[in-house]
Amino acid sequence: MSASLSSFSNLLDNHAANLLSQGRLEEALSAATSALSGLREAVEDDAAEMPRLFTGIQVLAEIQREMGDVSGSEASYGEALEIAGRTAIPADEVARIRTQLATLLDFSQREAEAIPLYEQAISDYEALTPPDEETAAQLRNNLAMIYKGLGKFALAEQHYLRSLETLEAKRGRETEEVAAVYNNLGSLYYTAGFPDQAKEMFTEALQIRTKLLGSDHPDVAQSHCNLATANHELGDNAASIRDFEQSLRILELHLADEAVSYEAVSLDYIALLENQGEDKKAAAARKRLDKMLATLD
């Protein structure tokens, strides 16, 4: 292949990436496909063109992903990793591709297949010079969620704690990312049957979120709801009721966007009231739920 034709393929590849950023997916797919055709020819003539083929396949994979073509995107990411295994590709780019494939599988309910990719990507980021510890911490959070879903609570805890340690050191305690990990740890401990530890983690998340986001943010409502469930498990139903009521108060302020959460929390609150023999209060809560949801019709 001539140098001019190779350069043209590179221009097409850049054009495809630009179209992708604009959301013009069909045009981006066409440009990426044309670019790859030229790049594959270039590689046959000169193996030094392999890194550019890697980049072109990466762009195609991202376009396919945006278009909902999971199998096509998976195949493209896989091909890019195969190329990385036999030619010199910058380590951070390989880590990024591995991460993209891991999240693709994870979000396609193929969590078990995503595990080794997440683990390798974490190792990749931590091995960079300098290490990209924050990205590794975020991936540990994703990996912990998978392990929790598989019932591997000790592994989930290990990754959550590593993630928390890194994010607190790098970003400080009072950040949304740290609050999210505290919340996830609370959920893990609750599921594993440790409501005391769950309450402690949920309380940390609530304090951080309230300071960062204000007392009326939906994430604060989520933290109150989580605390309500932990308090109920601990037998402190008075505290549970208070947290449910705080959560509902906040969610009513955001009803148009939080109707599903509002209904779910209301039903849990009503069930608790009925369990406590507060039938009159439960009936009033049900009536309010119906009234509030009716305003959305």
CB 257 within 8 A of CB 278: no
pLDDT tens readout for residues 9-60? 555 567 777 888 898 899 889 888 888 888 888 888 788 889 989 999 999 9
**Residue 286 token pair:** 């049900």
Say whether both 182 and 84 belong to one domain: no
Say whether both 198 and 79 belong to one domain: no
pLDDT (0 to 100) of residue 208: 98
Residue where a domain stops, chosen among 43, 69, 89: 89
Say whether both 82 and 195 belong to one domain: no
Answer yes or no: is 103 within a domain.
Answer: no
Answer yes or no: is 116 within a domain.
Answer: no
pLDDT (0 to 100) of residue 38: 82
pLDDT (0 to 100) of residue 2: 41
Say what angle helices 153-171 and 176-191 make with each other, to 10 degrees.
Answer: 160
Task: Find the domain containing 17 and state its range.
Answer: 1-89
pLDDT tens readout for residues 88-116? 999 999 999 999 999 999 999 999 999 99
Q: Given the structure tokens 């670019």, which residue do they identify?
A: 35
Q: What's the pTM value of the predicted model, to 2 decimals?
A: 0.87
Say whether both 187 and 81 belong to one domain: no
Residue where a domain stops, chosen among 51, 71, 89: 89
Other CB atoms within 10 A of residue 224 CB: 25
**Domain containing residue 236: CATH number:** 1.25.40.10
Residue where a domain stops, chosen among 69, 89, 109: 89
Number of domains observed in the structure of the chain: 2
Answer yes or no: is 207 within a domain.
Answer: yes
For the chain, residues with pLDDT lower than 70 are 1-13
Answer yes or no: is 64 within a domain.
Answer: yes
Q: Distance (Å, rounded) from C-alpha 173 to C-alpha 216?
A: 21
Answer yes or no: is 297 within a domain.
Answer: yes
CB 81 within 8 A of CB 73: no
Answer yes or no: is 149 within a domain.
Answer: no
- Closest Cα partner for 131 from 102, 91, 84? 91
Q: Distance (Å, rounded) from C-alpha 73 to C-alpha 69?
A: 6
pLDDT (0 to 100) of residue 17: 79
Say whether both 84 and 178 belong to one domain: no
For residue 215, the Cα-to-chain-centroid distance in whole angstroms is 24
Q: Distance (Å, rounded) from C-alpha 134 to C-alpha 127?
A: 13
